[in-house]
Amino acid sequence: MRKLLITVYKVFLIPHIILYKFSKNKRDIDKDIDRWSDAKDIRGGKISLLLNFLANSTDFRSIFYFRNRGMISHVLNVYCPKEKYFKIDITTKVGGGILTGHPYSTILNADSIGENFYVNHLVTIGAVDGKRPTIGDNVSVNTGSIIIGDIKIGNNSVIGAGSVVVKDVPDNCVVVGNPARIIKKDGKRV
């Protein structure tokens, strides 16, 4: 029965396909679809995968609407709502391949976030005195972490659960704690 309902629901998602086809951010959406497909081990064509993720994931819809800001997205959100507790500031630049782990109560307010970003729930990335973080490529931010201020998070870094990051993090690091401290750099314990 659920499968039948999802199939019927996908018919209502057809306007999303049109939005996707003409999106100026189609390349980033394709990277998002590929990343979600790999993470969930689901195969198929881009349109099929897009419909699957839109039908089954409110957080994917949030990312899709973020990439396609405008009146059409607002109208589509009425009958196909996004995750209301997952916020991405409209001025944040987000690279393709973003993946979420049920980002309930998550706020992304950075200058920029690189490609292949992973974020979990209860994460706050935000400003201090109007200055926001810059996050590199292939960064993972785990549950309950806070990243604030005019700082840089390097490429390939992992922010451990519950970490409070207020200072720069170099490339290839794992940080944990409050305040966050580096426990691994370039694969070696520090």
Active site positions, annotated:
121
Cis before residue 81, ω within 30 degrees of 0?
Answer: no
The answer for 183, left when phi > 0, alpha when psi is -120 to 50, beta otherwise, is alpha
Distances in Å between the Cα of 121 and the Cα atoms of 100, 103, 147, 169 are: 8, 4, 13, 21
Paired tokens of 170:
């170099």
Q: Using CA atoms, how far apart are residues 52 and 72, in angstroms rounded to an integer?
A: 20
Sign of the C-alpha dihedral computed for residues 41, 47, 50 and 55 taken in this order: negative
Q: Using CA atoms, how far apart are residues 18 and 12, in angstroms rounded to an integer?
A: 12
